[in-house]
Chain A
């Protein structure tokens, strides 16, 4: 039996966070909000099952990312537009460093970007990312290392941190 109060509580408590995480992945506020709301709608659609998961939030985030990838694939022109426009949409009051980071994230591959976001923003361990993304731990490490390296040319201010060897990025587990 789906309990709407249970779902509403979950949605209100997690949606802003998931939206901000997805924004870091897609770089567009409106898209991030639309995709996340669609993902939560699907969560409600299957709430009797999803609510029993260890982390319904991880389920929503995974679905949201899949929707984002699907949207990219369907809208190649839009993807090209993303590439043409170097900077993300304007964020009134946003920290310039954050805007620069999101812009840089859009310049690396979606797999690397997802891994970097899950690791550095969501705070998952390498093993947890492997589980959430369905790839081997070694693949996660490779994507993380290469993703950080790929960010260096676009984030010179953080070049020292991003160029750090693997042990430096192993503190999550």
Chain B
């Protein structure tokens, strides 16, 4: 098959597939939440997942932007969830719930966070680097994904901000 029609056929197939459903996480350990937060319970809300770890400078540099999103859009239907995924084995201290709690306090994080100590949710979403982001629409579909540090007001911040507003505006 010639290359151009093949590419066109693949593109058509991909376009027809549309956004894929977000996989349901099953993490048991949560902070800033009275009980485990499920994807099912968030249907009707826009969800921004942030895969991070407190030992990652790029992650903690991005937290002020996420705190800002939470402050601006929580009441409008955005739920931010931190997925705290360690880089190293437990000797690093990244698996320790007390250490994660102290990091939440240090960076003024009030949105729910879960410990992904076995990296199951990381693997479920095919994440490869810290920090990473997955934006899920009100129907539970993955609409945007990305990675990398950003700061309040910069280009990446504005891009994520516009994506959040776009999904909040949808029915």
Are A and B interaction partners? no
Q: Which residues of B contact A (CB under 8 A)?
A: none
Q: Which residues of A contact B (CB under 8 A)?
A: none
